[in-house]
Chain A
Amino acid sequence: MSDTESTPIVRELTPAELEAIQLERPDFEVQLQSLSQWQLAWRRFKRHRLAMVGAVLFLGMCAVAIVGPILLPYNFYVIPTPDKVVYAGRPPSLAHPFGETGGLQRDVLTLVVNGARLSLLIGVGASMVGATLGAIVGGVAGYFGGWVDNILMRIVDIMLSLPLLFVILVVSKFLGSGSWYLIMLIFAIFSWPGISRLVRSLFLSLRGEDYVDAAHAAGVGDARIIFRHILPNAMSPIIVAATLSVVSVIISEAFVSFLGFGVDVTQPTWGNVLSNSLNFISLGNWWWPLFPGLAIVVTVLGISFMGDGLRDALDPRAKE
């Protein structure tokens, strides 16, 4: 990747900024300002072309999810009254750029845009909750070690050996009752073990650092050492892992909804749109499943590219 050796860790001040500082401190001479860790990471991220493409794709999809349903001429909750009844639906046209579904002849674009809201919300939400849980469990296990570590890691072992998709199907069938936040919680509960193992290994190596000993010596409490002293230093890998787990949550949520075990069918998600298309699959109306699926692929590609870029940007030592 980019040559990290030549990355400047300082930036030049603009003349205006220099003047402002010199007014305050007349003896200020150096025209440079050192950059924080996050500013450096952002600089490396910006240089990673694929990552920028990914970020644009993902943020674009988020923008569509937020403002799209407002801008579209069709309301998701209103059943359309088409000018001509075609059972199999109609292929893309000017009025319906993504075509019309079979049966009720709904506008596919409206379904896809409205579906983005819940699909992205569940993906991002479940990953964030999962990463937080994972960070807490992994942090506690790695910091305290001993029997705490042993018990927590055996639980993680069990969680990781469960046939995940099976269990999610069963749990969403029996507990889900179709509400999106329960589905999100279910995915969160099953995405923390992987991250907690990662956090534990980071904590195991970080707790031996001198600054942790120093904090101990100064009488800092355990909770504060975990969350204020060690966690910020373990943040980069956690962010990367959480980003990449959004991908798997989005894909599995779509599949679970597609099987009819996920979010209630009256709510728009990409999985539900695909699920409904299955009843008309033998009529050859390719536009119906095509566009929600493309939305998933574009989002997933965007997030994967972004995750790769973040990995390179946040950890300058890691090279290809």
Chain B
Amino acid sequence: MLKYAVRRILQAIPVLIGISIVIYSILLIAPGGPEARFAQNPRITAEQIAAFRHRWGLDQPIPVQYCRWLGVCGDKPFLVNALPGGTIELAGVKIDLPGGDNGILHGDLGFSTTDGRPVAAIIADRLPATLILAGTAWVIWVILALISGVYAAVKRYSFFDSALTIFNYIGLAFPTFWLGIMLITIFAGGLHWFPAGGMWTTRTVPPFGTPDYWAFFGAQPLTALSDLGMHMILPVITLVAVSIAYDSRFVRSSMLDSLNQDYIRTARAKGVPERGVVFRHALRNALLPVITNLGLEIPFLFTGAFVTESIFGWPGMGAQFIQSTANFDYPVLMGLLSVTAVVTVFANLAADLTYAIVDPRVKFD
């Protein structure tokens, strides 16, 4: 199995490199660039823009830039879309910039062209918010999907089963962002039950993730938690309502398959009580494909909440992505996309390996 895992990772490498080349080319061939935001500023001269482009290495040919971004050009590569030397001098004071400029293959994602912060620090800032939102929603919809899917399969053709089928059909046709807008309009705009967006109440709670926030959290944990909860309810409902449709359908069909097996008839014939048949014999086998499916949903924790985040103004990876797209911030965009691509590849691998662990029938060649 270790051999299989290693082979899968080796196979993933060319695909990952291909992905990065495609994304890099798309980004850099496109007109505009990080300097586009200076174009309308009369105080910034053409020389300054040229200096800016040179500083970030944007005046180099695209293959050279890509090579620098990877960090494979020479032992001390040109600066990878990074500030020269990693040190700047402001009013006589030398400031060391954190992070590195060695390229992604050396573990350095470079610096943002918008504010000069290391890309890794930006991602580390944004990731917790995304994980909190998507993780909570994921746990809720997995539990609900399991319960509703199993119940619908056991009571096949019942009222609940057909109601769930109709709900799933409609759920799959619902655009996530529209559901979010409607929830905000009704429950935040009309009824004022919940806040319309954001992650914390400005003025009463410090911004999430700052030391102030954790100090506040330590002093008044209940207020902090309830504030976070109030801001999470609408986005979590949006995520759960849309995602549950697919998963509960999956659980239902897997459970039905399992209930039709011969060993279920055998168990019933032996006189195993119905509860034992359903939970001990059918469910345990039905869970095998479900586990794989859940593994495939892991990348969602990083990216899937993107739509919901952008509607609810949730300060996660999705919001950062949209902001960086608007600023043509290539290093941050490449960083976000690379992290997502790597997570996707490893989640697929993890799903396959888990399947082999829980199902002894599966063999790798």
Contact = CB atoms under 8 A, between A and B. Distances in A.
A174 B189 contact: no
Contact of B185 (A161, A169, A284): A284
Size range of the chain A interface in the assembly: 35 or more
A170 B27 CA distance: 7
Interface in A263-285: 274, 277-278, 281-285
A124 interface: no
Contacts of A157: 15, 18
Interface string A164-201: 01110111011100000000000000000000000000
B185 A158 contact: no
B169 A301 contact: yes
Contacts of B285: none
Nearest to B175: A251
A63 B184 CA distance: 32
A259 interface: yes
Contacts of B341: 161-163
Nearest to B302: A163
Interface in B312-358: 321-322, 325-326, 328, 333, 336-337, 340-341, 344-345
A285 B185 contact: yes
B271 interface: no
A165 B196 CA distance: 25
Contacts of B310: 259
Interface residues of B, number: 47
Interface string A213-225: 0000000000000
A259 B322 contact: yes
B95 interface: no
A317 interface: no
A261 B321 CA distance: 13
B190 A254 contact: no
B325 A169 contact: yes
- Main DSSP-derived SS at the B contact region: helix
- Main DSSP-derived SS at the A contact region: helix
A286 interface: yes
A304 interface: yes
B190 A167 contact: no
A165 B26 contact: no
A300 B189 contact: no
B19 interface: yes
A258 interface: yes
A296 B19 contact: no
Contacts of B344: 161, 163
Contacts of B177: 254-255, 258, 274
A302 B177 CA distance: 20
Shortest Cβ-Cβ A-B pairs, 4 listed: A174-B30, A284-B190, A293-B178, A284-B189
17 contacts: A163-B303, A163-B340, A166-B321, A166-B336, A169-B322, A170-B23, A173-B30, A174-B328, A175-B31, A277-B185, A281-B184, A286-B190, A289-B181, A289-B185, A290-B185, A300-B173, A301-B173
Interface of A: 154, 157-159, 161-163, 165-167, 169-171, 173-175, 247, 251, 254-255, 258-259, 261, 274, 277-278, 281-286, 288-290, 293, 296-297, 300-301, 304
